């Protein structure tokens, strides 16, 4: 009996390319067989797979890592062909269609494109396919890239409201110390995804192939938890690892989402990696947002930074610079600068009109720190 009904599986570069030696077709076939088994039992499966750049390097016979963004993009385009072909062949062996989806941060930052991506994924799952998702490295630049596919996996989990995110890696899970340096390091078998201690346990990446280390996996579990998605960080080399976890077996590190689903709009707000601007609040406004479930009024804002339009996502900062909330702003940046520190009833006299008495309405705001 499967415990979960909708699962996102993320596979890292080092794992899928056998440490950079080229695609590990035998392992890909093993994972595909397990995913096909789940799909046959009615479990919705979405795959987020790294590996295009590592595969591109192998295909082109390069002896060193690319150095320029253009080289990364070109190599990713070559490698993506081999990556998707490998998955397609393996899924076809089980009579399952796969679908390639390449995403950039811009696709999930724009509300309309976000909803389009969600609708497409839901329809693909209704068709019984297994979507294979990767970051669109061939067109992404440093301003719009996710940074690593762990983050992308978490955002996809939010997008489809998955029950579980499985992050397959070359480690057994999250330890309380680096097991390569400390023989007494203990595996964290179960923890609350929001536990700040987890970030301290996670160290930097030890791989030259991927951009994400254990820290990004813990951060991704925290992002996934916002939509009520649990996360398991586990070795992809474990026999039948995917099916065993979905059936409820305890493997790796289980990071629990202790709270339920956020509303879809607030999941989207929380998932923004980059905000269009910032509003610096006074202590009174911080208290109102954190403790009184209220909207943000102009009178509580001390400063505005960035250039943004009405309806864009901005960060709300406490006096010490900590981000406490983010939301959809009701006025563009130039007008915000004119009305901050003022009472709402003064807006018509200052701007000549008033769309809203609030800078950010509570329904369009999410707390980032509670």
Is 50 exceeded by the pLDDT of residue 62? yes
Is 60 exceeded by the pLDDT of residue 147? no
Looking at the structure, tell me whether residues 251 and 339 fall in a common domain: no
Looking at the structure, tell me whether residues 174 and 249 fall in a common domain: yes
pLDDT of residue 304: 97
> Quick check: is 1 in a domain?
no
Last residue of a domain, one of 267, 296, 320: 267
CA dihedral for 170, 208, 74, 141, sign (positive or negative): positive
Q: What confidence tier does 143 reach under pLDDT thresholds 50, 70, 90?
A: very low
Looking at the structure, tell me whether residues 251 and 300 fall in a common domain: no
Average the pLDDT over 61-72 and give the result.
Answer: 85
Q: 6-11 and 164-169: which strand pairing?
A: parallel
The CATH number for 53's domain is 3.40.1160.10
Looking at the structure, tell me whether residues 303 and 256 fall in a common domain: no
Are 130 and 118 within 8 A, CB to CB?
Answer: no
Q: 298-312, pLDDT tens digit by residue? A: 999 999 999 999 988
Greater confidence (331 vs 17) lies with: 331
Number of domains in the chain: 2
The CATH number for 299's domain is 2.30.130.10
Looking at the structure, tell me whether residues 43 and 128 fall in a common domain: yes
pLDDT of residue 263: 66
pLDDT of residue 366: 87
Output the average pLDDT for the chain: 88
Nearest partner of 178 among 190, 187, 191, judged by Cα: 187
Q: What confidence tier does 256 reach under pLDDT thresholds 50, 70, 90?
A: very high
Are 316 and 304 within 8 A, CB to CB?
Answer: no
Is 80 exceeded by the pLDDT of residue 120? yes
Last residue of a domain, one of 218, 243, 267: 267
Q: What confidence tier does 273 reach under pLDDT thresholds 50, 70, 90?
A: low
Looking at the structure, tell me whether residues 213 and 317 fall in a common domain: no
- Lowest-pLDDT choice from 96-105, 153-162, 163-172, 199-208: 199-208
Average the pLDDT over 107-129 and give the result.
Answer: 88
Last residue of a domain, one of 267, 287, 308: 267
Average the pLDDT over 198-210 and give the result.
Answer: 63
pLDDT of residue 138: 65
Looking at the structure, tell me whether residues 166 and 67 fall in a common domain: yes
Average the pLDDT over 305-328 and give the result.
Answer: 92
Average the pLDDT over 278-305 and give the result.
Answer: 95
pLDDT of residue 245: 96
Are 146 and 114 within 8 A, CB to CB?
Answer: no
* In the chain, % of residues over pLDDT 90: 55
Looking at the structure, tell me whether residues 306 and 220 fall in a common domain: no
pLDDT of residue 186: 93
> Quick check: is 112 in a domain?
yes
Greater confidence (260 vs 363) lies with: 363
pLDDT of residue 210: 43
pLDDT of residue 209: 44
Tokens of residue 285, six digits? 């406004």
> Quick check: is 65 in a domain?
yes
Q: What confidence tier does 208 reach under pLDDT thresholds 50, 70, 90?
A: very low
Q: Residue 358 belongs to what domain range? A: 275-367
Nearby residues of 117 by Cβ (< 8 Å), 6 or more positions away: 101, 103, 107, 108, 159
Is 60 exceeded by the pLDDT of residue 153? yes
Average the pLDDT over 158-168 and give the result.
Answer: 93
Q: What confidence tier does 344 reach under pLDDT thresholds 50, 70, 90?
A: very high
Greater confidence (267 vs 238) lies with: 238
Nearest partner of 169 among 298, 13, 292, 31, judged by Cα: 13
The residue count of the chain comes to 370
Looking at the structure, tell me whether residues 344 and 236 fall in a common domain: no
Tokens of residue 237, six digits? 């080399």
- Lowest-pLDDT choice from 46-50, 66-70, 183-187: 66-70
Looking at the structure, tell me whether residues 259 and 357 fall in a common domain: no
> Quick check: is 134 in a domain?
yes
> Quick check: is 173 in a domain?
yes
Looking at the structure, tell me whether residues 204 and 85 fall in a common domain: yes
> Quick check: is 17 in a domain?
yes
Is 70 exceeded by the pLDDT of residue 264? no
- Lowest-pLDDT choice from 111-120, 124-133, 350-359: 111-120
Distance from C-alpha of 42 to C-alpha of 63, rounded to nearest angstrom: 44
* In the chain, % of residues over pLDDT 70: 90
> Quick check: is 89 in a domain?
yes
> Quick check: is 324 in a domain?
yes
- At residue 280, what are phi and psi to the nearest 5 degrees? -95, 120
- Lowest-pLDDT choice from 21-25, 241-245, 341-345: 21-25
Looking at the structure, tell me whether residues 245 and 298 fall in a common domain: no
């Amino acid at each position: 009996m499967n415990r979960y009904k909708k699962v996102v599986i993320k596979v890292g570069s080092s794992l899928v390319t056998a440490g950079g030696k080229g695609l590990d077709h035998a392992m890909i076939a093993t994972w595909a067989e397990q995913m096909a088994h789940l799909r046959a039992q009615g479990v919705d499966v979405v795959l987020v797979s790294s590996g295009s750049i590592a595969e591109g390097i192998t295909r082109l016979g390069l002896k060193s890592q690319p150095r320029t963004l253009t080289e990364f993009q070109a190599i990713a385009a070559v490698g993506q062909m081999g990556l998707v072909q490998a998955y397609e062949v393996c899924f076809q062996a089980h009579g399952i269609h796969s679908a390639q989806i390449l995403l950039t941060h811009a696709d999930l930052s724009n509300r309309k494109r976000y909803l389009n991506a969600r609708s497409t994924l839901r329809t693909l799952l209704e068709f019984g396919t297994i979507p294979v998702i990767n970051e669109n490295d061939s067109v992404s630049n440093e301003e719009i890239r996710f940074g690593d596919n762990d983050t992308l996996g978490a955002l996809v989990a939010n997008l489809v409201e998955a029950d579980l995110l499985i992050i397959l890696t070359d480690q057994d899970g999250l330890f309380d110390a680096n097991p390569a340096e400390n023989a007494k390091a203990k595996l964290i078998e179960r923890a609350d995804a929001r536990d700040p201690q987890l970030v301290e346990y996670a160290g930097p990446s030890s791989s030259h192939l991927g951009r994400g280390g254990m820290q990004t996996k813990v951060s991704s579990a925290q992002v996934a938890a916002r939509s009520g998605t649990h996360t398991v960080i586990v070795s992809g080399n474990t026999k039948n690892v995917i099916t065993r976890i979905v059936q409820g077996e305890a493997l790796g590190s289980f990071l629990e989402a202790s709270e339920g689903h956020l509303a879809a709009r607030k999941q989207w707000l929380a998932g923004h990696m980059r905000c269009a601007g910032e509003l610096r609040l006074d202590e009174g406004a911080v208290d109102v947002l954190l403790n009184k479930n209220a909207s943000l009024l102009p009178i509580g804002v001390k400063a505005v930074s960035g250039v943004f339009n009405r309806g864009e996502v901005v960060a709300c900062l406490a006096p010490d610079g900590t981000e406490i909330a983010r939301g959809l702003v009701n006025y563009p940046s130039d007008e915000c600068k004119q009305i901050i520190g003022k009472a709402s009833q003064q807006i018509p006299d200052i701007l000549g009109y008033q769309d809203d008495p609030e800078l950010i309405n509570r329904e369009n705001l999410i707390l980032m720190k509670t």
